Chains A and B, each alone.
Chain A
Amino acid sequence: MGIVGAYSTKYELRSEKEAWDMLREVVEGVMKSVEKGVDGSDIDLVIVANFSDRFGGLIHTAPLVASLAKARRAKGLRVENACASGGTAILLAWTLLKSGLARNALVVGFEKMSYQPTASEANEVLSLAAHPDEIVTGASFTSLYALIAKAYMDAYGAREEDLALVAVKNHENGLRNPLAAIRRKVTVEDVMKSPYISWPLKLLDCSPLTDGAVAVILSSEPRKFTDTPVYIRGMALSHDLPGLFERPDITSLIAVRNAAEEALRIAGVEVKDVDVFEVHDAFTIAEIVIYEMLGLARKGEGVKLIREGVTLFTGEKPVNPSGGLKSKGHPVGATGIGMVAELFWQLRGEAGEHQVKGAELGLMENHGGTGSTAVVAVLSR
């Protein structure tokens, strides 16, 4: 089972394009990206990931995408698993291809978050992905991650400056990625001086509301379409209790750990073997906790990795060379598929200025809610 083509719009804070224009662009783009050519009649499965019709004004997008691809025989559906919608769409395509029910899948993700007039209203839409008690209490997602950050800082002595280092790294990486929404270098001082959204998280600790779309093609006969496919070696989805308050340890994202363990086991590799990571840094604190959940650091020591530069672009374990959600952007439905597209380019040596040299094994981690759904995939040439 391999990925044979990928295409992404540039991620933007406020795109002039309508959601349907983005879909047209990525479908045409991904079909053209396949070296040996792909025809609409080859595609028999279409999966579209989109968080909400309030981010783009569209539902029932599978037949639209199928028609844009001229895939007249394809069956399709839209999937939603909060911010893990994209990862879930890939997992579903992978599963259906493995089962033999389909042979070639077109997987598309999109979100036009600027469809909402203000950030306050966009945050209302996003907050619906939380536990009902959290929704009625009025918690924004920034607040929920701020609860994790405060608990983490209390438990392990991390400081706001440590969290800022994640933003500094990912913005530095985003400078090298032409698809990134915010290509601007930031310093620890910039992060510290940015206004608090939910103490202790500041504006520059948060990923931006983003517009963007992305598409990949998965095939059960990849060599028919390209000589250099990228294979999904292992993939898993895991859930956690939806409410942060329901979990015994607020500073862990158990679903991420479980999905990572399973994906690595299926792939038959260990995390130390992975050369490049794309992970869900929706907030700076998330990336630090993810280090620990993936097994890159022991519990409470994720902060050491960022302090010591291990996860820098030039470090031993580069995390988010694309700029991550923080700098590249987070158009929710597109995010997980965008990570897979990024690893497709990295593992084929096509990532341009932000190419991690000699990357052979990649890992993507995409989660939704406060980690109540997590998807992890391990990919290689």
Chain B
Amino acid sequence: MWRLITYTEQYTPITPYKSTYAIGIVEDENGNRLVVRIDSKYFGRLRTGMVGSVYEEWSIFGSFKKFVPEGVEEPAKVALVTGSARGIGAAIALELAKAGYTVVVSDLTYDESAEKTLQEIKAAGGSAIFVAIDVSSRESVERAVKEVAEKLGRIDVLVNSAEITRDAYLQRMSAEDWDAVIKVNLTGASNCAKAVAPYMIRQGGGVIVNISSIVGMVGNVGQTNYAASKAGLIGLTYSLAKELAPYGIRVVAIAPGFVRTRMTLAVPKSILRDYLRRIPIARLIEPTEVAKLVKHVVENEAINGVVIPIDLGLTISSPKA
């Protein structure tokens, strides 16, 4: 049995380990002492005098001693899903709630759809609260993230799924429609990631999932603004994944094809039918199918800095024009 006599949470990663963890000194009954590494998931919950076990851990840089404290309660993990009153966001919120996450359902305003999502989560035995966020406003995001951290104590997962469309050929697109889409879909995701990162660093890690789109990879007529915003999310994902990896925060993008949502069904029927004919599996994707992929990405700790298409084979269909 080893007792923790002093410790520090190391927030600034050093080469070559490039990760965050706590460092401690532990002592046994005979007064023997060891220097140990402690997993970052215990950040904020370590105390002098804690007891636990020590294991030898192999690493390519040399084997070291790892201390696992006893009797530390696992906190309920918290997932913040933007744009989750309806559509893909709502399905993701429900899926994560079913997986045991305390979910923050968020959207511009608390409306009937938001209430329905909350009720579905509660009916499934999950736990959720609603927080209003206008992702395009930095102040709104900062305020909301602070509120979440104060109410629920932590933020483990951020899913950036808030999005809008303002479709038109570029020649006819108003400057306002271009700006609005970029501001919500791309700047909104960056605002949210920036606001949650400090909380994730202090608690030892987290996951950010950006809901991009297949349109950001292959383009689509009438959607230059939307496609640019979704392609922008891919660049954001790659870069942020590199910046945050040392802090135990993974960043992943998911690129769905045409999902059966209110937004997709707003596309004129004749155009939608034309799209579907080109997809190897000619149907719409269900929001729950996207949600299941998000849940997998959140839980599989080896997935980082990639864009995962979920598109029924749309990207392999041709021709693209």
A interface with B by C-beta (< 8 Å): 118-121, 123-124, 127, 131-140, 142-144, 146-151, 154, 195-201, 243-246, 250
Contacts and interface: CB of A to CB of B under 8 A. Distances in A.
Contacts of A245: 25, 33-35
Given A244-B25, A250-B25, A198 B11 contact: yes
B238 interface: no
Contact of A119 (B7, B12, B19, B21): B12
7 contacts: A123-B14, A134-B35, A143-B10, A147-B6, A147-B8, A151-B6, A198-B10
Contacts of A121: 15
A120 B242 CA distance: 14
A120 B13 contact: yes
A147 B7 contact: yes
B221 interface: no
Interface string B8-47: 1111111111110101110000000111110000000000
A136 B64 CA distance: 6
Interface string B71-111: 00000000000000000000000000000000000000000
Given A147-B25, A245-B25, A140 B10 contact: yes
Contacts of B246: 120
Contacts of B10: 138-140, 142-143, 146, 197-198
Contacts of B37: 137-138
A315 to B, nearest CB: 30
B12 A151 contact: no
B276 interface: no
Interface stretch (B55-63, B141-149, B289-297, B301-309): B55-63
Contacts of B36: 137
B65 interface: yes
A196 B9 contact: yes
A140 B12 contact: yes
A250 B25 CA distance: 10
B5 interface: yes
B35 A127 contact: no
Contacts of B9: 196, 198-199
Query: Which of B5, B8, B23 has most chain A Cβ within 10 Å?
Result: B8
Given A143-B23, A150-B6, A151-B6, A135 B62 contact: yes
Contacts of A149: 8
Contacts of B21: 138
Given A135-B62, A136-B63, A143-B23, A154 B6 contact: yes
A150 B12 contact: no
A245 B5 CA distance: 10
